[in-house]
Amino acid sequence: MTEVAYQNALVYAKDRIQMRSLSGIKAKDKAADPIIVHPDVRKMLLTAKAYAEGGRALAIYCTLLLDKELYHPDEKVRQDAAELVALLTPIVKAFLTDNGHIATNACMQVYGGHGFIKEWGMEQFVRDNRINMIYEGTNTIQSLDLLGRKILGNNGATLKKFGKLVGALIAEEGVNEQMAEFINPLAYLADQMTKFTTELGFKGLQNPDEVGAAAVDYLRVAGHLVFGYFWARMAQVALREIAAGNSDQFYLAKVQTARFYFAKLFPETATLMRTARNGSRSLMDTDAALA
172 included as an active-site residue: no
Q: What is the pLDDT of residue 96?
A: 98
Contact 38, 32 (CB under 8 A): no
26: confidence class by pLDDT, cuts 50, 70, 90: confident
Round to whole Å and give the CA distance between 103 and 260.
14
- Catalytic hit among 83, 123, 136, 268: 136
Q: What is the pLDDT of residue 235?
A: 99
DSSP reduced 3-state for 172? helix
Round to whole Å and give the CA distance between 84 and 207.
28
The pLDDT tens digits for 168-213 are 999 999 899 999 999 999 999 999 999 999 999 999 999 999 999 9
Q: Tell me the domains of the chain and their CATH numbers.
A: 2-133 (1.20.140.10), 140-282 (1.20.120)
Q: What is the pLDDT of residue 178?
A: 97
State the pTM of this model: 0.96
The pLDDT tens digits for 234-284 are 999 999 999 999 999 999 999 999 999 999 999 999 999 999 999 999 999
Q: What is the pLDDT of residue 34?
A: 95
Contacts of range 39-43, beta carbons closer than 8 Å, 24 or more positions apart:
41/13, 41/110, 43/264
Q: Where are the alpha helices (DSSP H) in the chain?
A: 2-15, 39-71, 75-110, 122-130, 139-144, 157-173, 180-206, 209-243, 249-260, 268-277, 281-284
Asked if omega into 153 is within 30° of 0 (cis), the reply is no
Nearest Cα to Cα of residue 182 among 255, 250, 252, 242: 255
Q: What is the pLDDT of residue 140?
A: 98
The pLDDT tens digits for 51-66 are 999 999 999 999 999 9
What mean pLDDT is predicted for residues 76-100?
98
